[in-house]
Amino acid sequence: MSLFSQFKEDIAVVFDRDPAARSTLEVITLYPGFHAIVIHRLAHWLWRKGLKWLARFTSHIARWLTGIEIHPGASIGRRVFIDHGMGVVVGETAEIGDDCTLYHGVTLGGTSWDKGKRHPTLKPGVVVGAGAKILGPIVIGANARIGSNAVVVKAVPDNATAVGIPARILDSETEKQRQQQMANLGQRAEKLGFSAYAVSADMNDPVVKAIHGLIDHSAHIDERLEQVIAQLRKLGAELPAGQDKPDDFDANYLNKIVD
């Protein structure tokens, strides 16, 4: 792939993942994540050519300009997007696959002073939330999601979501049961919009736990009401007019409150 084509691809990915981007000129001149990626490609080329000091100096200039510190030895794939970027730190032996997204405050750090592989590997499509720390020579599976401020010290499988300190995988049996229970209630429950990305029962937050308790209780009550209505129909009872019509629940309004 030519340098010019890669440059165009780095610009295009900004438009794909940031709705605030308005023009190519704005991306080229005002996006520190874009600047950090472009300068890193030069620094990484110098590093591979054996010009270690010059590579480190180039990355140091990038850090001073953008607030993003990427070691020139780190490997970064195509269409990687760093949103905002202030405080992002990527270690020497880190590997970031294609189509990954990092938000501000992310650290891909090491836990050892050994000279070998000591930083994380992100498979393609990984999204790392703001403030998250991924530490050690662990592998984050393809299309995995790391929640904001999570501290990840163990490998995360493909398509999983990890949140918390230390990070836990959200596809636990309890979470699966909750999702199944919500799905059984039909479209109204699905509209609630409570997913692993927004609010997790595994987060050590009493408000979050209370919200999930209310969701579970509400889902259980709705399910029992459906059973009562079904039994009444079997007995030939006449239900109030309009009972079969969908309610006026505004899921968008609830989502705005949660966000």
Give tens-digit pLDDT for 22-59. Answer: 899 999 999 999 999 999 999 999 999 999 999 999 99
Question: Which of 174, 129, 132 shows the shortest CA–CA distance to 153?
Answer: 132
Select the more confidently predicted residue: 219 or 85. Answer: 85
DSSP 172-184: -HHHHHHHHHHHH
Question: Which of 170, 218, 178 shows the shortest CA–CA distance to 196?
Answer: 170
Give tens-digit pLDDT for 108-122. Answer: 998 888 788 999 999
Residue 90: how many CB atoms within 10 A of its CB? Answer: 28
Report how far residue 152's alpha carbon sits from residue 224's, in angstroms, rounded to the nearest whole number. 39
pLDDT band at 152 (very low <50, low <70, confident <90, very high): very high
Select, from the ranges 81-85, 133-137, 188-192, 193-197, the one with the highest average predicted confidence (pLDDT): 133-137
pLDDT score, position 124 = 94
Give tens-digit pLDDT for 11-29. Answer: 888 888 888 888 999 999 9
